[in-house]
Amino acid sequence: MPGTARVIYGDEVEITDLVIAQFEAGALRASDVCNPTGAGDAFAQAMFAWLRARIPHCHRLQFNFALMDQGAAADQVMQFGWEEGLEARLYLAIELPSEEVYAIGEARAQALRTAHPSLLFTAMILINAACAKSLFVRTPDVLLDEFARWHWDYDATLADDASARDFLKENWGGDAADIDRYLPSVVRAELAPDDTLPQYAHVQPGSSRLQQLGSRSLRALARSSDKWLSETCAALADLRLTLAKGGDSSAIASAQWAEPAYSAATIAYCDSDYVSEVLDNHFECVNNGGDATMFQCFIPIATERKAIRQQFGDLTSMLQIIGALDRVLTLISS
């Protein structure tokens, strides 16, 4: 269940003054602490009580939180050479324990496009914006980028020309049918059409007309007589509003990325062998090389009163975003 806590301690670290500052800032409640074994245990009890009261019930996104000291966090990322950047005494880690794959599907995608040509494009922009402030999710954008790393020399905008065929032939071999299967136009149609991608990744001339819909347009579309479309557009408008309320601040802005093996969910454009291939390659590399962790990132625990209050405000915003994001993902995928 999201929010299951795991407290990890390495070498003993003196955190009494940090814990006192946390309680004095006013967000944590001493009444949530019962028979603590020390300052760290008291902080953990209060912190996870605060989190449990705010973590939304999710149908798509899977995640946990863990409290780690500097040594435990450093052990996780030392293979990447990032341990020297961990200077805080305590970290709140976002743990991604497993990954499920969901698909939007052609039927839902076409229903969104029929309602408005830019509606699917808007949905993916809002989903990606929410992920940037909360949980790592494999969207069509991420899947296409990973596919391009394997097959197109990192170029996700590669065109169907002679050089593309030559590159595929030279690097992957196979007959003409095999090469045709990996041509960008063929793959992108199933893996990531233009209206599921950011504007800079578009390759079709007509995609220049796509634009992000504002709150007023989304609320207008939410008045549709179609229940699913109405709920989806209302959820998108709510997500847009939740993102706006959070402003430019983010709970994970100063966090150390931890190279997670899993994402909180994969949201594919449609059920496709290309999606399976991307994920199979990814997990094979993780299993063979071990260069991944079970964590998305490590958020340094603030120590000063003003920073502590700001951090709890940012965490509140992040959890609200996660709830609004999960609502959208639940509606547009299965």
Q: How confident is the model over 114-163, as pLDDT tens digits?
A: 999 999 999 999 999 999 999 999 999 999 999 999 888 888 988 887 77
Predicted local confidence at residue 161, as pLDDT:
76
User: Can you give the pLDDT at residue 10?
Assistant: 45
Which residues of the chain carry a pLDDT beneath 50? 1-5, 9-11
Q: Bridge-partner residues for 234, per DSSP?
A: none
Q: Which two tokens stand for residue 189?
A: 């149609």
**Per-residue model confidence (pLDDT) at position 11:** 44
* Token pair listed for 19: 């814990």
Mean pLDDT of the chain: 93
| Other CB atoms within 10 Å distance of the CB of residue 46 | 21
* Per-residue pLDDT at 150: 86
| Backbone dihedral angles phi then psi of residue 266, each to the nearest 5 degrees | -105, 125
Cα dist. 209→92, 114, 213, 295 in Å? Answer: 42, 15, 12, 38
Amino acid 175: pLDDT = 76
Look at residue 100 and give its three-state secondary structure. Answer: coil
For residue 7, what are the β-bridge partners?
A: 67
